[in-house]
Chains A and B, each alone.
Chain A
Amino acid sequence: MAFDSSEREALRQRFREFAESRDRGIRDELITAHMGLAEYLARRFTNRGEPLDDLVQVAALGLLKAVDRFDPSRGLEFSTYATPTIVGELKRHFRDKGWAVRVPRRVQELHLRLGSVVSILSQELGRSPTIGEIAQSAGVSEEEVLEAIEAGHAYRFTSLDAPSGSDDESSLSAEIGADDPALLGSEHRVTLSPLIAQFPPRERTILHLRFFEGLTQSEIAARLGISQMHVSRLLARALAQLRTQTEDES
């Protein structure tokens, strides 16, 4: 994360250019340059029951806000300015989330481990494994597997602090998660409810494939090159967010 003095000066110059032009290319460059800071801060929150990749996304959102609001003419270092913004975003994420049940560390760890267990088993079997097969492969009981899977669904009372899909946030999430270009045709957009259209590309793609195209979670995982457990987690979170939005509108 540490920059040498010439890198720092170059970044300061880019911030000044961005302050004047608000150029998206420069903005993306500044975000990329400081992703290390977001990841570093996200790691400090990993003992609270959230997978690191989700936390990095939250931290990245804080970073994006910091880049947008940073005023280089005030002479402050960007990292000094951005750290409280990113930490604030992470804290808000936990506060608003209000996990219905605190997920114990062993369950979190098993949840993360099952990601690769399920991927390997699915490939070996050529189909979605049963809970019994997953338990046997992971060397744990079926009850532990069920508990670990449920851990990925503890998103009931989430706020809208996950990216809500404004143009800015979409561009960032497009960097974080790959999208399937074939899905961006007009037919895709027509079938999407306006609610779903607000999600960042990856969540939108997953919602579309699961609920409109009828692909299973494991098929979606294979298509997007991510683990099924991750698909499951993203779906659970997207559904919780959809629910909050539906309530807000009604």
Chain B
Amino acid sequence: MATGEVRLEVPAAPEFLRISRIMAAGVASRVGFSLDEVEDLRIAIDEVCFSMVGPRGRAGTITLTYLLEAGQLTVDGAGHFSDGLGNEPVVSAISNQILAAVVDECELSASEEGPHFRLVKRHRPA
């Protein structure tokens, strides 16, 4: 089982979410996740990243750090925006419900540097 850290920085625009999803699926398969778990993680990344960039995108980037551990994947995301539009992640009630269903942990926060999230997905052997 692979362990390690993978980092990705993408422009904060919806069309780059695909790359984040593929990366998530790629690293999830490295830690032995099942297809169900890969799908869940992909949905989570998409949901949380979209809440950061919105439908029209923002000026700046999102950095995603995928931490691979035995049977677990943690994704740290940080937005670095230069448009002065605020740093609070806006997550709808339905997005919260979706995130709660697909990952084991989800934390969203904001600081002066920008919005931040941390997702944890654990592998459950059948």
Contact = CB atoms under 8 A, between A and B. Distances in A.
B85 interface: no
Contacts of B43: 235-236, 239
Nearest to A213: B101
A142 B22 CA distance: 12
A156 B22 contact: no
Interface stretch (A32-40, A74-82, A125-133, A159-167): A125-133
B55 to A, nearest CB: 6
B97 A128 contact: no
Interface in A138-170: 142-143, 146-147, 149-150, 153-154, 156-157
A156 B42 CA distance: 13
Contacts of B95: 246
Most chain B beta-carbon neighbours within 10 Å: one of A134, A142, A239, A247:
A239
B36 A217 contact: yes
Question: Which bucket holds chain B's interface residue count?
Answer: 20 to 34
B46 interface: yes
Contact of B34 (A130, A143, A156, A196): A130
Chain B binding surface, main DSSP class: helix
Contacts of B14: 100, 156-157
A214 B98 CA distance: 10
A128 B37 contact: yes
A243 interface: yes
A131 B101 contact: no
A235 B32 CA distance: 23
Chain A binding surface, main DSSP class: helix
A247 B94 CA distance: 12
A159 B42 CA distance: 21
Contact of B29 (A132, A210, A212, A243): A132
B97 A211 contact: yes
A175 B107 CA distance: 41
Given A125-B126, A153-B42, A156-B18, 18 more contacts: A127-B34, A128-B36, A129-B34, A130-B35, A131-B28, A132-B29, A146-B22, A149-B25, A150-B42, A156-B15, A195-B94, A211-B97, A218-B35, A228-B36, A236-B43, A239-B46, A243-B55, A250-B92
Interface of B: 14-15, 17-18, 21-22, 25-26, 28-29, 32-40, 42-43, 46-47, 50, 55, 92-95, 97-98, 101-102, 126
29 contacts: A100-B18, A101-B18, A127-B34, A128-B34, A128-B37, A128-B126, A129-B35, A130-B29, A130-B34, A130-B35, A131-B35, A131-B38, A143-B26, A146-B26, A149-B39, A150-B25, A154-B18, A156-B14, A196-B94, A211-B101, A211-B102, A212-B101, A216-B40, A228-B35, A228-B36, A235-B43, A239-B47, A242-B94, A246-B94
